[in-house]
Structure 1
Amino acid sequence: MITGELRSKVDKIWEIFWTGGLTNPLEVIEQFTYLLFIKGLDEVETRNEAEATLLGVPYDRIFNDEQQHIRWSKFANEGNAEKMYDIVLNEVFPFIKKLHGNKESAYAKYMGDAIFKIPTPLMLSKIVDGINNLNLKKDKDTKGDLYEYLLSKVATAGTNGQFRTPRHIIDMIVKLMKPAPEDIIVDPAAGSAGFLVSSQQYLRDNHPDLFLVQGLKKHFNNDMFYGFDMDRTMLRIGAMNMMLHGVDNPNIEYKDSLSESNTDKDKFTLVLANPPFKGSLDYEAVSADLLKVTKTKKTELLFLALFLRSLKVGGRCASIVPDGVLFGSTKGHKDIRKEIVENHKLEAIISMPSGVFKPYAGVSTAIMIFTKTNTGGTDKVWFYDMKADGYSLDDKRNEIEDNDIDDIIERFNNLDKEVDRKRTEQSFFVDVEEIRENGYDLSINKYKEIVYEEVVYDEPQVIMRRVKELEKEIASGLEELERMLEV
């Protein structure tokens, strides 16, 4: 998360966009991203040049001899704003749109219809100067943090109830699931690709050796990450987000995940998602395979059926769901819960406080974690009652000390130590038989035991005596005050 001076500088650049007439937050992010990407290309080229000179070896050049003037370090120092604008509009932008030779790549597909929207040379000059003044650090993922901050400015929910998942919640879920170098990871409602970005960073931090194995490196860059969405703007942002984080060819695709056109089956090993909650669809538009599992129009239930179909046997899923999924009484609600509990292995329900998604939404949510088995396997389910996530649970979401995230990760990774925990504690196990007896209700409040402390009050006569004593003290004080005023 960016703070302080850097945040202030980003806000000033945002204000330049705003006052210049670009007021759609997604358009601002797009234009900002293009310029960051252009600057990043020049930085990569400069680094490659230095390494090639040091080692005396050739390298694949991004810019040829005739294209040196379109590098960021060249045009950004152009004294004439009109000339800079002409170079960016007519040379740099067409260059990045055609940069990726593979026409089927996410980059090529979603950059192909990208439009340069900065309207004036003066505005471009101010923005370029502002980006140069950011001084993004090379020793940490500041670009990623910067990008997350930009995305946080998209404060309106989408038409299907979509809203941004906080980065720290995404990171927690990824750490719970521990992506492996061989995984095939999908987010069927990817948006800006936050789960995929966090997954690739987890792999870099915990499995750096995968880049030394040619097969795994190729898998990482081409066949590991899949993200689907129906908003082309979000697809473009998601593809750029992944590329800015070093994934060469992510599979970011336009796809209605719940429709008949999506035929993905037994394909992925890990699902990470926060699917739309409020959407309601026509039966005719939904894949028949999903309706067989849960006949409903509710997207949050249909997505769970989709996850089961899309996963390979042994594949795992961690999805954010609204609380209603856990205790809803309709046949559709009960059917999907029974399917997961009886035919697969439900592992954990992590209840989150309702303020986690503020200011975008106040809905109460939970994280559901399960493994596809097709043969059952649920014996007991781990419940955790998250009370704090490190931020205040109001619209301001200021940082606070209370934070259960590290405790959740630690306990989930050591479930053998949770067996003897009591229902009065923050986490505990519930046997599957008890869940069956309760109609597959998965809400933590169904099983949590609350200890009520008996409060003993004084006798009424004692309380009245104290009230009278207080009245005497007040009267005495008023008399003393009157005497002081008469002096």
Structure 2
Amino acid sequence: MITGELRNKVDRIWEIFWTGGITNPLEVIEQFTYLLFIKQLDEIEAIKENEAHFLGVEHKELFPSDSPYLRWSKFKNLEASEMYRIVQNEVFPFIKTLHQNGNSAYSKYMGDAIFKIPTPQMLSKLVDGIDGLNMQDRDTKGDIYEYLLSKIATAGTNGQFRTPRHIIKMMVELVKPTPSDIIVDPAMGTAGFLVAAQEYLRDNHADLFLNAGLREHFNNTMFYGFDMDRTMLRIGAMNMLLHGVDNPNIEYRDSLSEQNTDKEKYTLVLANPPFKGSLDYEAVSSDLLKVVKTKKTELLFLALNLRILKKGGRSATIVPDGVLFGSSNAHKEIRKELIENNKLEAVISMPSGVFKPYAGVSTAILIFTKTGTGGTDKVWFYDMKADGYSLDDKRQPVAENDIPDIIQRFNNLDGENDRKRTEQSFFVDVEEIRNNGYDLTINKYKEIEYEKVEYDHPTVILARIKDLEEEIIAGIKQLEDMINE
């Protein structure tokens, strides 16, 4: 989450778009992202050139040597009209034709991208503003993306809740991706989960890049993401490419439809699927409806996760609270399926403010492993009360943060066996959950300790009230005396 000077710079750039006539938030993000992408291509190329020079090895150039002004560092110094001509007629066509084999996610979704900045003066202002953004740090880059996405006015009405990056990172650290995983987000948005997963692997399994087979897997067959919004697909593809994944499998797909035939293909699902919005019930896969007959997307996505995971595959998925306690047959059946036929490991309840300012819904994270044969003996519950940010619309950083505790405890579950129901985390035996109709609400099992409060005898309290009354009367008398003087 960005604050202070960086946030002000981004706001000023957003205002340039707005006053220049580009007022659709998705279009602003799209054009903003193209320019960020062009700038970062140049920065990445400069780093590779320096590394090659330092190591004394040959560097395969990304930019044609006969077209120096394709690079941000060159065209940014040109006069406005000349800069506009080069960006519109040379730079933009160049980035659209990167990965010319036509099979990469990038080439698929850049093909119909349109340069919409209307005037040289506006482009010049935007280039000056973006040139002042420090995008070298991976976290800062992600924070800027997240802040841009938070500006999408429709986010709270079409079901596309933007998952905060610190929540994404927590979920990734809970499931610990491995170099051999095949990772999917069936409702990927801007590919936040996939970006965080590759960051985790770089930080914790850097040696995978020394293995030719694992490196090939990382770049071509590890990451899958699906969405029905082509703008999101474009932004997601650029996001992954800029984070160093050469060829993610990002596709336009309605994951819940009959056209999605994936079955037992992935080893890890990371998702925050839509909770509401339109659903073409007639197009929903019959395989999913056999598991849970419903129009609720949050239940259908859980059924989808079970279908697309390989045996032994894991899932960390955000669901609205209603999934935990809903009394319909569909709600009960999906909870029963997770518990009786697979291994439900954890239910982490999150406060409603996590998705503010664009949604106030209460949510939870379900972590489970697909077994097909059961295996749930007890379920770990955690009552998250703070995530490091205020739970109002401002979402300012605060000291209270349960996330480190959640990660530490989940990675050491043996130490949780003796935790009492009055504490923030504890185990619940599966038999107790069965007896409660598979209810997964933490408050169903949490015990509250009430402190015994000792009150004074009524005669003592009455005496105090009399004393106060006498003080008030004395005060009134004093005021009267002052007025009559």
| Smaller-chain TM-score bracket | over 0.9
2:240 and 2:479 map into 1 onto residues whose CA distance is 71
Cα drift, residue 102 of structure 1? 2.5
Q: CA deviation at 1:296?
A: 1.1
Give the aligned partner of residue 124 of structure 2.
Answer: 125
Task: Give the match's secondary structure for 1:141.
Answer: helix
For 1:278, which of 276, 279, 282 is the aligned residue? 276
- The question of 1:374 aligning with 2:369 is answered no
Deviations 1:15-58, CA, capped at 9 Å, x for gaps: 11111111112111111111111111222222233333333322
The residue identity in structure 2 corresponding to 1:103 is G
Residue aligning to 2:171 = 173
Aligned-partner Cα distance in 2 for 1:184–1:264: 13
State whether residues 280 and 299 of structure 1, in contact with CA within 8 Å, keep that contact through their aligned partners in structure 2.
Answer: no
- Which residue does 2:112 correspond to in 1? 113
Look up the match of 1:200: 198
Identity, % of aligned positions: 77
Greater alpha carbon shift after TM alignment, 147-156 vs 123-132: 147-156
Q: Secondary structure at the match of 2:357?
A: coil
User: 3-state SS of the aligned residue for 1:377?
Assistant: coil
Distance in 1, matches of 2:143 and 2:26, equals: 17
Moved more, 356-365 or 369-378: 356-365
Residues 279 and 298 in structure 1, CA contact (< 8 A), matched pair in contact too: no
Q: Is the 8 A contact 1:76 1:84 kept in 2?
A: yes
Alpha carbons of structure 1 residues 456 and 335: separation in structure 2 relative to 1, 3 Å? same
- SS, match of residue 375 in structure 2: coil
- Contact kept in structure 2, 1:170 and 1:194, CA below 8 Å: yes
Report the residue type matching 2:103 in the other structure: E
For residues 358-373 of structure 1, the aligned pairs below 5 Å read: 358-373=356-371
2:26 corresponds to:
26
**What is the deviation of 1:332?**
0.8
Q: What amino acid is the match of 1:52?
A: A
Task: Give the Cα–Cα distance (whole angstroms) in 2 for the partners of residues 252 and 176 of structure 1.
Answer: 24
Contact 1:291 1:302 in 2 (8 A): yes
The aligned residue for residue 252 of structure 1 is 250
Structure 1 equivalent of residue 308 of structure 2: 310
Say yes or no: does 1:2 pair with 2:14. no
Residue ranges of structure 1 left out of the alignment (5+ in a row): none
Distance across 2 between alignment mates of 1:254 and 1:371: 27
1:483 shift after superposition: 5.3
Q: CA deviation at 1:256?
A: 0.3
Aligned to 1:85: 84
TM-score under structure 1 normalisation? 0.96
Query: Partner amino acid for 2:95?
Result: I
Q: CA deviation at 1:391?
A: 1.6
2:402 to 396, 404, 424: 404
In structure 2, C-alpha distance between the alignment counterparts of 1:231 and 1:421, rounded to whole Å: 45
SS in 2 for 1:14: helix
Find the aligned partners of 1:51 and 1:375 in 2 and give their Cα distance.
52
Is the 2:150–2:358 contact (alpha carbons within 8 Å) kept by the matching residues of 1? no
Distance of aligned partners of 1:107 and 1:140 in 2 relative to their CA distance in 1, 3 Å threshold: closer
Matched, 1:301 2:299: yes
Work out whether residues 280 and 298 of structure 1, in 8 Å CA contact, stay in contact via their aligned partners in 2.
no
**Alpha carbons 1:155, 1:359 under 8 Å: kept:** no
Map of 2:187 onto structure 1: 189
**Which stretch of the first structure deviates more once superposed, 275-284 or 109-118?**
275-284
TM-score (norm 2): 0.96
Whether the aligned pair in 1 keeps the contact of 2:421 and 2:445 (CA below 8 Å) is yes
Aligned partner of residue 208 in structure 2, secondary structure: helix
CA distance in 1, matches of 2:347, 2:395: 24
Tell me the CA shift for residue 156 of structure 1.
2.7
Separation in structure 1 between the aligned mates of residue 52 and residue 390 of structure 2, nearest angstrom: 50
Tell me what 2:75 maps to. 75
Mapped to 2, the partners of 1:277 and 1:181 lie a distance apart of 31
Where 1:476 maps in the other structure, the secondary structure is helix
1:246 alignment partner AA: G
Contact 1:293 1:336 in 2 (8 A): yes
1:414 corresponds to which residue? Answer: 412
| Residues 1:233 and 2:199 aligned together | no
State the Cα deviation string for residues 294-326 of structure 1 (Å, max 9, x = none).
Answer: 111111111000000000000000101111111
Q: Is the 8 A contact 1:383 1:444 kept in 2?
A: yes
Distance 1:474 1:334, change over 3 A: same
- Rounded to whole Å, the distance in 1 between the matches of 2:80 and 2:184 is 43
Secondary structure in 2 aligned to 1:457?
A: coil
CA distance in 2, matches of 1:400, 1:415: 27
The answer on whether the counterparts of 1:165 and 1:274 sit within 8 Å (CA) in structure 2 is yes
| Cα RMSD (Å) | 1.6
1:121-160 alignment, distance < 5 Å = 121-136=120-135, 138=136, 140-157=138-155, 160=158
Q: Which amino acid aligns with 1:101?
A: Q
Give distance in 2, aligned partners of 1:286 and 1:361: 26
Determine the C-alpha separation between the residues in 2 that align with 1:393 and 1:299: 26
AA at the equivalent of 2:63: F
The answer on whether the counterparts of 1:190 and 1:228 sit within 8 Å (CA) in structure 2 is yes
What's 2:326 paired with? 328
Report the equivalent of 1:450: 448
| Residue identity in the other structure for 2:162 | R
Specify the code of the residue in structure 1 equivalent to 2:412.
N
The size of the alignment, in residue pairs, is 485
**Structure 1 partner of 2:337:** 339
AA aligned to 2:295 is K
Q: 1:242 — aligned with what?
A: 240
Change (3 A) 1:113 1:159: farther
1:48-67 equivalences in 2 (<5 Å)? 48-67=48-67
**2:473 maps to which residue?**
475
Q: Which amino acid aligns with 2:32?
A: F
Distance in 2 (CA, whole Å) between partners of 1:409 and 1:12 is 37
Aligned residues of 1:354 and 1:364 also touching (Cα < 8 A): yes
